[in-house]
């Protein structure tokens, strides 16, 4: 996969303020506020920054955490995991493998078959419905 690189100024011009804060500055949206938290539409979730496919709706589940949750990415190569020790916690951050956009975190408390919960900010995603 070819890496997509832009300056922060280029990202800021391309994204709305909330998308920029979350995707480029590693912020987060408020729980239960994201447009995809309760969405059940069949389709593929893409990175808002580079349009890379990240998650299939078939892996989405209601974790009750307030953010869209998935038990697996569309492909292992779709994202990169990074150890995150910010805010007095030890977590695993997930970023888009193509453009390094911050997406959210992955936790080991999800359902079968993976036991993982990818807790992802809605503003980082663009849902493309299946026909």
65 among annotated binding-site residues:
no
| Residue 96 annotated as lining a ligand binding site | yes
Is 49 known to be catalytic?
no
Residue with tokens 């955490």: 65
Q: For residue 99, say whether it is annotated as part of any ligand binding site.
A: yes
Kindly provide the residue ranges of all beta strands, DSSP E only, lying in 21-130, ordered along the sequence.
Answer: 43-47, 53-56, 60-61, 69-70, 79-84, 91-96, 102-107, 117-120, 125-129
Q: Is 49 annotated as a binding residue?
A: no
Q: Which of the residues 23, 49, 119, 124 is marked catalytic?
A: 119
Q: Which residues are annotated as a binding site for Zn(2+)?
A: 47, 50, 96, 99
Name the residues annotated as catalytic: 119
Q: Which residues are annotated as a binding site?
A: 47, 50, 96, 99
């Amino acid at each position: 996969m070819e890496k997509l690189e832009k300056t922060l100024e280029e990202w800021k011009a391309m994204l709305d303020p909330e998308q920029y804060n979350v995707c480029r500055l590693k912020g987060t949206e408020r729980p239960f506020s994201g447009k995809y938290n309760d969405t059940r539409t069949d389709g593929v979730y893409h990175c808002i920054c580079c349009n890379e496919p990240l998650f299939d709706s078939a892996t989405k589940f209601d974790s009750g955490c307030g953010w869209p949750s998935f038990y697996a990415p569309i492909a292992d190569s779709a994202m990169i995991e990074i150890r995150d020790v910010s805010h007095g916690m030890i977590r695993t951050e997930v970023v888009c493998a193509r453009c390094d956009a911050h997406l959210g975190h992955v936790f080991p408390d999800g359902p079968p078959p993976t036991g993982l919960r990818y807790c992802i900010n809605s503003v980082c995603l663009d849902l493309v419905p299946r026909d």
